[in-house]
Amino acid sequence: MPGSLFVLVTGATGRQGGVLARNLLHQGHRVRALIRNEEHQDISGLRSLGAEISKGDFEDQQTLVRAMKDVSTVFAMSTSVGNRLEAEIRHGKNLAQAAKEVGIQHYIYSSAAGANRSTGVSLLETKVKIEQLIRNIGLPFTIIGSVFFMENLFGELGRAELAQGRVSLPLPGPCKLQQVALEDFASFVTLVIENRDQFLGRRLDIASDELSGIKIAEVLGKVTGRKLIYSEIAAEEMREGNSDLVSFYEWLGNGGMKVNIELLRRQFPEVGWHNYEKWASKQDWGDLKTNVIST
């Protein structure tokens, strides 16, 4: 275990950045959390754990330069704003160029599994361009490509579906979907941060488990005590007019993500990878566990 490191975490009030910031703090590292909105409800929690808060704007490179001052490591992520994929590319470039200007020792970019292949999927092609820039400008990098997060299914809409006895995805029921738990993601990124020399210049795709929509419904039914069925969402029902999202799920349905999960578990056992049932059993399902649907 190395000494305390100083890490700038972007997206610290979001899912990826939030769980990573907390994990780093719990491991004794210093964290500077980059935030856009100082009124965000998660900021007080980060401060209480010891994080520094730095306000910055992905559109303003100099605010990023200020946020990176004195840190050794940057965890960088950028996402599209609505359907504006060009904004994600611009933000990714601003972050990378700020890191180059400051002289960051380790730049970790959160990408997507499979984005290093030619996919033709616009949601992934944006990340390809950012990855290429990171390499071209000579940053000391590690790129981590994540698959579908287990937590993605259970936002407000997903929980509403569960309350109605359904697990829904725009994929055929037998189609297997690779997924990663946020806790595993944070543990793996922390491992990379703590072992810089081992991971410099590498690109790694990560996943925790792989199972079909039908199996997801079965596992969640077992954990919550409910009778759940799997329901495929028709592509045309997805976010009206969002062809980018439709093409992404079509790619997933054709086996787009190909992480070797067993090899990953053997190489990095210290992450403590979750299978789907182990992950589900640790979640707070609230009323979904008490309002049991009779069979």
Q: What is the pLDDT of residues 228-285, one digit of tens each?
A: 999 998 866 665 556 777 888 888 888 888 999 999 999 999 999 999 999 999 998 8
Identify which of 168, 107, 102, 165 has the alpha carbon closest to the alpha carbon of residue 136. Answer: 107
Q: How confident is the model at residue 293 (pLDDT cuts 50, 70, 90)?
A: very low
Tokens of 168: 């829904």
Q: List the single range of 17-21, 171-175, 244-248 with lowest mean pLDDT.
A: 244-248
pLDDT of residue 234: 81
- What the chain holds in terms of domains, given with CATH numbers, is 6-149+180-206 (3.40.50.720)
- Between CA 105 and CA 70 the distance in angstroms is 11
Q: How confident is the model at residue 39 (pLDDT cuts 50, 70, 90)?
A: low
Mean pLDDT calculated for residue range 75-101: 86
Q: How confident is the model at residue 295 (pLDDT cuts 50, 70, 90)?
A: very low
φ, ψ dihedrals at 30, nearest 5° = -85, 140
SS3 31: strand
Give the relative orientation of helices 243-253 and 122-136 as an angle to the nearest 10 degrees.
90
- Between CA 242 and CA 239 the distance in angstroms is 6
Q: What is the pLDDT of residues 93-102, one digit of tens each?
A: 999 999 999 9
Decide: 129 and 115 in contact? Cβ < 8 Å. Answer: no
Question: Mean pLDDT score of the chain, rounded to an integer?
Answer: 89
Q: How confident is the model at residue 294 (pLDDT cuts 50, 70, 90)?
A: very low
Please say if the pLDDT value at position 123 is more than 60.
Answer: yes
User: Please, which residues have CB within 8 angstroms of residue 206's CB and are 6 or more apart in sequence?
Assistant: 113, 144, 145, 146, 147, 180, 184, 185, 188, 259, 264
